[in-house]
Amino acid sequence: MPVSVIAQGKNLKKDLYTKGTTSFGEKDYFSAAQYFNQLVLLDSSQLIYQYKYAEASRLNYDYEIAYRWYDKVMKEDNAKMYPETPLWMATILKGQGKYKDAKKYFEKYAKKNKGNKDKFRQQLVIKATREAEACDLSLLLMANPLNVKINHLDSNVNSRVSEYAAFELDTVLFFSSLRNTGKSKRDMNNITFNKLYTSKKLNEHWEKARALDSLFNASNIHNANTSFNEDFTKIFVSRCNALTTVDYNCQIYFSQYINGKWTVLKPLPPPINIYQSNNTQPNCSKLNGKDVLFFSSTRKGGQGGFDIWYSTFDSDLNFGTPVNAGKKINSGEDEITPWYVKENNTLHFSSTWHKGLGGFDIFKSEFKEGEFAEPENEGYPINSSYNDIYYSLNAKKNKVYISSNRLGSYFEEKQSCCNDIYCFDVEPFKIDEPPKPVDTVKVIMDQLKILCPLTLYFHNDEPDKKTLAITTKLNYKKTYEDYIALKPKYYQEYPSGLEDAEKTQAEDRLTNFFEDSVDAGMHDLDKFAALMEDALARGEKVKITMKGYCSPLASTDYNVNLAKRRISSLRNYFYEYKDGVFKKYINTEDSTKNYLLLTDVEIGELPKSNVSDNVKDVKNSVYSPYAARERKIQIIAVSSFAIIK
């Protein structure tokens, strides 16, 4: 190839990389993704191009593309040069509702970076740890769905771009939208601005939405977030200027209804709107009998990001010093879209920090004794694995509106790019109604079920080599410890004969297997046992079903017995757990006193295995992680049972 052609190729890649990096720094992730896409098409061997393309795609909401390239980077790099790769893979998986897979990658990131002294990574470790716990909570919430039907408003309200911040007053729905309704919607630079819209309900159907007039929708600025005071004589909205494609600077405006007309909107004075502070998403309500304005703000004195604040005011709109909603509500991340319901003293808001099913989840917190209580997740299906924001209760107190980009939302270019408005019915408030008691045993049993199938791994022909016995005196904890002690042998045998990058990749595969499978299985077993102890102590009757598997070495008959020995080691683990705490629940002679049933279904060789069964090829038949994954048993099910007398 001529030198001039090579030079041109280098210059082109340098130019694309510079443009991509510049666009990324300006938060123009769409353009950045285009530049890095061209780079990987020119040279897909460069990890930095792959990672940058994944990053830009993730921030541009192209999650499938992002995950594909993160996965490529992870397989080659194993989070060495790009340590955040498993964290972002986990985040994408969580957004797709793949909570078990997401948890594995969150835990991997937290474990690899636990001792890192970098403050940024320390915060990410805390985040990853919480997100791993959130994955367990998400499975639990989905196992116990709320009895609500989520309704998607039709295309008279929702469009292929974002609709949000809905509030229903009698038969009129107020909401915000980025839709393009014609030339008047765009400025000279072809920019589309958010506007305030209304839709009227006729015969239980919403009519085609219409934009409010220029009194409420100012030109060349984003208008959003409608909120009225209790007697509907004051209205508060947000107006925002775009700083980048993703950042805005907002102020809260107000108008009053005087002599049958709304006054011209004006920005609220300090202490609501203050210099160098983003103030948005107003919600007007009553707190302790006083008018109060809740809003989201980046002002100093908060916990970080957007915080929820509130300020009382009088009839002349004199506002008191805003109060931060507190550390139980606010975090170092974003808390947004507050909605306070005075009838039950409850604040509803969205957050990316508190444990939830998706990115933003909706939470609730009761205000009592002068402060907000620990937030509770609103539950599934109110929340989804996507972003759920803008909780609002209508004027009649019988319907809730939310905004979400969940599956089913309309979109123009990218699925789940845009929020739509959804609603669900609620019962009128019963102020004195006591809260429903929590069925603690059911919660524990659901947590046990979430851990299944629980997979445990063994070294080759363990426990008790070269025997046809179907039981062992060893318990699984001991076989696990012996297995971990053999790790140096695995690192010696499996990468043998390989050099440089191939050797490193082989070692990485072993590391991932031991961390993500062997260690994770032992951790889950200890958690399973602790939960089961709690359930049994509360009177629950538990049945566990176990299943054994083996790699293809030795005869099928031998494997069947080996599978039985491995299940026997798990039985021994339960018998010996905490010096025999489970023994009193197991009584095989008297079924009426049997509160713990341990049952099993054995199987020998796994079907259609591609693993070597050559006993002389120990590198692949014994020490390969592919072979090791087949040497396992599982707790495949856990359930309650009734004693038949």
**Cβ proximity of 112 and 83 under 8 Å:** yes
Q: How far apart are CA 180 and CA 188, in angstroms?
A: 14
Which residue numbers in the chain have pLDDT < 50? 3, 5, 183-189, 645
**DSSP letter string, 146-208:** -S---EE--TTT--SS-EEEEEEETTEEEEEE----SGGGB-TT--B--EEEEEEEETTEEPP
Number of C-beta neighbours around residue 487 at 10 A: 13
Q: Which of 175, 185, 169, 170 is CA-nearest to residue 153?
A: 175
Please give the C-alpha separations between residue 636 and each of 349, 570, 633, in angstroms, as whole numbers.
38, 13, 9
Pairing state between β 248-258 and 388-393: unpaired
pLDDT of the residue at 70: 98
What pTM was computed for the model? 0.90
Q: Which two tokens stand for residue 276?
A: 């160098």
Q: How far apart are CA 633 and CA 455, in angstroms?
A: 6
Give φ, ψ of 77 to 5 degrees.
-100, -30
pLDDT in tens, 391-411: 999 999 999 999 999 999 988
pLDDT in tens, 554-613: 567 888 899 999 999 999 999 999 999 999 898 655 556 668 999 988 675 565 566 766
Q: How far apart are CA 174 and CA 249, in angstroms?
A: 22
> Does residue 381 have a cis bond before it (omega within 30 degrees)?
yes
pLDDT of the residue at 413: 73
Residue with the two structure tokens 């589309």: 192
Give φ, ψ of 313 to 5 degrees.
-150, 160
Give φ, ψ of 102 to 5 degrees.
-60, -45
Structural class in CATH, domain 3-143 = mainly alpha
Q: Which two tokens stand for residue 324?
A: 């931060």
Q: Which of 175, 71, 50, 59 is CA-nearest to residue 417?
A: 59
Contacts of 253 (CB under 8 A, 6+ apart): 236, 237, 238, 239, 265, 266, 267, 268
In the chain, domain spans: 3-143, 151-425, 440-640
**Cβ proximity of 363 and 349 under 8 Å:** yes
**Cβ proximity of 456 and 570 under 8 Å:** yes
**Cβ proximity of 226 and 237 under 8 Å:** yes
Reported as type and span, the H/E element at residue 38 is helix 29-42
**DSSP letter string, 546-601:** EEE-B-S-S-HHHHHHHHHHHHHHHHHHHHHGGGTTTGGG--TT-GGG--EEEEEE
Please give the C-alpha separations between residue 254 and each of 226, 235, 239, 273, 395, in angstroms, as whole numbers.
10, 6, 10, 12, 20
Pairing state between β 290-297 and 399-404: unpaired
First CA to last CA distance, the chain: 86
What CATH topology corresponds to 151-425? Tachylectin-2; Chain A (2.115.10)
Number of C-beta neighbours around residue 13 at 10 A: 16
- SS3 state of residue 248: strand
pLDDT of the residue at 551: 62
